[in-house]
Structure 1
Amino acid sequence: MSEEEKTPAREVITDYAQSHFRYFRTADGTVYAQRNGHPVARPIRSQGTTGSHRQELMVGLFRDGLGVFNGTAMKEALDLIEALALTEAVQPVHIRVAPGLDGATWLDLGRDDGQSVRIHPTGWEISVPDPREVCWRRTQLTGELPLPDKDTNEQGIDHLLRLCNFATAETECLAVAWLIGCLAPSVPVPAPFLTGPQGAGKSTGGRMLVRILEGMSGDLRRAPKDEENLIAAVSAGWVTALDNLSHMTPDLSDAMCCIVTGAENVKRALFTDGDVFRARYRRPLLLTGIDVGVIRPDLAERLLPLRLERPRVRRTEAELWTEYERVLPAILGSLLDLTVKVRAVRAQTPTDLRMADFAHLCAQLDTATGLGALPAYRASLDDLNDDVIEGDLLAQTVLKHAESIPPGTEQRMTSTEWLHLLSRLYSGEELRPLPKGWPTTGKVLSDRLKRLQPTLAARGVLIDSGRTSEGRYLEMARRSATTPHEQNPAF
């Protein structure tokens, strides 16, 4: 065959690629390649160590006897494939958990054969999802889960609770509710904060919870020093677990709020002037630590305190993790059984709690099992409100002043007038100096009170703001009757 009759290398690569792979794009314009019949998709521009599409394409061409091609031919072929894929329909990719058809949810087991768990209203089964229904994206943080056991009679949950050192039954049911919530891709779940004395096994308990969803390679990590690295870690996995927190900066607190309820990060794409890179994220978050100091009110609403106690009998790490790995298939199977049972029942959604989806899940869990998760969740939020108030002198001063307001009435002043009143009340007759961080202007006071609104409302004190012809005002009022759980704080 003459040189003129030979098919150009880029055409050989393109023809092979289009016959063995499906190419599509996501909403942000990233083009993915998916081997025919397999649910795992890889970005075609990725050079990641988990295996790039370029690598699997080169291996396929070599094994099928089509030869080894140079980089120029491969680049030209991939450029053409990427351009063609941009005209295809948009399809999302998912990490670990994905919504399916007919109300189903998929759980990626991280296996090479693509086997996943389909959770549907009548049960769950292990199968390979249709690539057009679910596309999995995997990273270095995607560990392999064992095939879950069937017919466990929920004994796996008992195994888990026996291995962890949860202090109370209420803590146990909240941990189970969180795990069920992690299997729902559309449900924001509060971040468990494992606390307890030294030696209570907080890090070990955190690893056990994480590894149910991320496999034995899942682990805790130190909090990154900046928000960009935290977002990168969050975007690459499903559950993000931060260990041994001792201090929480305002920036880290705000970032955690965004992780729990969802946000988007936009930055300039590398080697471009005008293109941007979008990273959407909303992930389950888990924290461990003894004490992180003052907790900001907005984060307190998104936390789920789980207290642990010191075990009476110590076991070696090797013995503990050997048993855990042995019972992990039963734990996962029991969790799936319980998830199906919980989703099958109906329950009223509490309207007074910030994390309404999780509160509804707790109500469903109570209907299905009678565990009392919703009362335990309410009690945990009350405890966190107490922590916020104990760490905030302004909140304590506002509550002290509110005692002088007759129930069912309101008091209205400008923010500057409120600042003078509260400052005099704090200083008292002994003229105590104002503490560090006390508001210095009416505007700062107004912003602080807006942040404290949910915490104060939980104690029957309502803060509102508005404008009249005379200017802006802040209004403080006490409820005429504080009945449990009828609060509906403004945000």
Structure 2
Amino acid sequence: MADDEKNPAREIIADYAQTHFRYFRTAEGTVYAQRNGHPVARPIRSQGTTGSHRQELMVGMYRDGIGVFNGSALKEALDLIEALALSEDVQPVHIRVAPGFDGATWLDLGRDDGQSVRIHPTGWDILAPDPHEVCWRRTQLTGELPLPAKDTDGKGIDLLLRLCNFANAETECLAIAWLIGCLGPSVPVPAPFLTGPQGAGKSTGGRMLVRIVEGMSGDLRRAPKDEENLIAAVAAGWVTALDNLSHVTPDLSDAMCCIVTGAESVKRALFTDGDVFRVGYRRPLLLTGIDVGVIRPDLAERLLPLRLERPRVRRTEAELWAEYAEVLPVVLGSLLDLTVKVRAAEAETPTDLRMADFAHLCAQFDVATGLGALPAYRASLDDLNDDVIEGDLLAQTVLKHADTIAPGAAQRMTSTEWLHCLSRLYSGDDCRPLPKGWPTTGKVLSDRLKRLQPTLAARGVLVDTGRTSEGRYLEMTRLATSSPHEQKRML
């Protein structure tokens, strides 16, 4: 009797699997399989349509003449392999962008041969990463990128800007800085919000920016109706692009804040009573729309408005995208060249901005190129503060009351007293009714003012809370110096 006939099928499968594949687990406990010498890893329990480990195991054994085995034998073998892998070293898996050794970062080109871009302090190279350094995870959202061109002399950036309809040079600087930020796995970047009149090519411009990182299959999508589907889409790709937003609900606003700066979702694992499944995510986000109405202050600090204008000459979709696909290797090569140059630049980190990592990137960008990305970023945040104030009657009333406070002075009252004061100021002598959404209690007012603190501070009004023996209080201080908004008006 042959040796194979003496061994159970599960042992034959397990022996073949451990010979041809490397198995490891992530910090969340998910076990992945990686073909020897190949950087792409697949979860062994995946049944996805992008190619599961079960499928590649079956195909490999069939092509190598081992045989074809039934589902029970495969399940028993994978159960054993999964149990053995839980004692192996922990290693993370990455989608599209990953940190490497010696200060390098990697960009997955989505190719079957595993070729990727290694961006290091002195340049960038195209090669397959060591599986112990980088493990790529791929999904249906992982598109293929072309091999970037070498020695482009920066002409790819000009080609990209010629295809997009950005309104001015400041907007172009911020768009390029955002793309460089997308190539950094540890840099949270604000979400570009492409705005402009109808017909300005916002959706087309958004696709062009996304496809530089996600490949020609990258596209925009409508905002999901629930947070669970949004998180699933975000976790399966790198850049998430939401198209044609006309209204941002409070729940969607909170979800987008979490996407930009990072959060974790915990759900009950399927077919278990007490086990959980963790999904951590922090991804670049891109939005398009003409006007989304009222923007909440916490989201405004995480946005990057990019204004577009209507093109003077219209082109067909086929002509436009044919040219884009042709120049994409040059665009990607020029972006990688600029990324190396920007990362090598030394600049101080601005300490007054919420997205400090991106502000530091803008400062490095300015040192490397001589352009003005950081001033443009500050100006965009100032404009967003104007939008927040214009859409919030409470903020307008607070600023109106602050004008009655002497510069450098402070005024302290309980939250209930502040509510009566601001309500009387809004109603005026004609006793006009309070608007819908106006705070109804001191507690609600206190919570609203806490959310508005950064916006009001940018206009020279500080709101603070505290407690004395008599109870809690709210204190409003008008800065002695003029606010950034007043300084801008004086220039």
Q: Under a length normalisation based on structure 2, what TM-score does the superposition of the two structures give?
A: 0.98
- In the alignment, which residue of structure 1 is the partner of 2:115? 115
Q: By how many angstroms is 1:20 displaced? A: 0.4
- In the alignment, which residue of structure 2 is the partner of 1:142? 142
Instruction: Write the letter of the residue equivalent to 1:76.
Output: E
- In the alignment, which residue of structure 2 is the partner of 1:319? 319
Q: Deviations over 1:94-152 (max 9, x none)?
A: 00000000000000000000000000000000000000000000000000000000000
**Contact 2:347/2:364 (8 A) holds in 1:** yes
**Contact 2:4/2:12 (8 A) holds in 1:** no
CA distance in 1, matches of 2:267, 2:2: 50
CA distance in 2, matches of 1:106, 1:219: 22
Instruction: Write the letter of the residue equivalent to 1:51.
Output: G
CA distance in 2, matches of 1:41, 1:4: 29
Aligned residues: 486
Q: Counterparts in 2 of 1:32-431, with a 5 A limit?
A: 32-431=32-431
Q: Deviations over 1:339-377 (max 9, x none)?
A: 000000110000000000000000000000011000000
CA distance in 1, matches of 2:376, 2:4: 77
Q: Deviations over 1:298-352 (max 9, x none)?
A: 0000000000000000000000000000000000000000000000011000000
- In the alignment, which residue of structure 1 is the partner of 2:477? 477
Q: Deviations over 1:195-251 (max 9, x none)?
A: 000100000000000000000000000000000000000000000000000011000
**Contact 2:46/2:53 (8 A) holds in 1:** yes
Instruction: Write the letter of the residue equivalent to 1:465.
Output: T
Q: By how many angstroms is 1:482 displaced? A: 3.4
Instruction: Write the letter of the residue equivalent to 2:201.
Output: G
DSSP 3-state at the match of 1:103: coil
Q: Counterparts in 2 of 1:410-489, with a 5 A limit?
A: 410-482=410-482, 484=484
CA distance in 2, matches of 1:35, 1:330: 32
DSSP 3-state at the match of 1:24: strand
Instruction: Write the letter of the residue equivalent to 2:107.
Output: L
Q: By how many angstroms is 1:408 displaced? A: 1.1
CA distance in 2, matches of 1:247, 1:5: 65
Structure 2 unaligned spans of 5+: none
Q: By how many angstroms is 1:7 displaced? A: 1.1
CA distance in 2, matches of 1:264, 1:482: 40
Instruction: Write the letter of the residue equivalent to 1:256.
Output: M
Identity of aligned residues (%): 87
CA distance in 2, matches of 1:18, 1:166: 53
CA distance in 2, matches of 1:293, 1:4: 69
Pairwise CA RMSD of aligned residues? Answer: 1.2
CA distance in 2, matches of 1:150, 1:483: 47
Q: 1:4 to 1:22 in 2, by over 3 A?
A: closer
Structure 1 unaligned spans of 5+: none
Instruction: Write the letter of the residue equivalent to 1:13.
Output: I
Q: Deviations over 1:8-55 (max 9, x none)?
A: 110000000001000000000000000000000000000000000000
